[in-house]
Amino acid sequence: KNKTYDPAKLPLPPIMVDTPKTRAALANYYQDITTVDQRVGEVVASLKRHGFEQNTLFIYTSDQGPEWPHCKWTVYDTGLRVPFIARLPGVIKPGAVCEALISAVDVTPTFVALAGGKPVEGLDGRSFRDVLTNQAPAFRDMIFASHTGDGTMNVFPQRCVRDTRYKFVLNLKPEN
């Protein structure tokens, strides 16, 4: 529940309808982000306190975008762009920001590569270690995404392919 943000003072994105309910929900969303930020800091402090800070890969991410129109459960950018924070002292440069396209299927091969191993055959993803370690500015030329629907509420299955500039979205049930 929001304890920090004044809903009346928040600027609303143009895709949102300006109502008290929308403003309260946006304030709660910003509060959630603030709370996550605090908790990530607590985890890092705990790693340091227990002597694991220097040899622990810490990643925070999400599986989808926020619960707003054209976000969660979609293949639009607001549904695909998710937080991704990676921290590994001495390997990943602190404060670095990267716009490389990565996909969740790439996380496991990246873990294996950062640990010095070799991924098993048959994995769909590829390691983006070189992007994390600032040895490469890009990783993939394009990514693919899908939303199949849950059968009752989200009945708009979609597929997409995206590069750094364009995205093609196929709505499999445009009537919905």
Confidence of residue 41 (pLDDT cuts 50, 70, 90): very high
Residue range 94-123, pLDDT digits in tens? 888 888 999 989 999 999 999 999 988 898
Return mean pLDDT, the chain.
90
Residue range 136-172, pLDDT digits in tens? 989 899 999 998 877 777 788 899 999 999 999 999 9
% of the chain exceeding 70 in pLDDT: 100
Residue pair 47/19 in contact by the 8 Å Cβ criterion: no
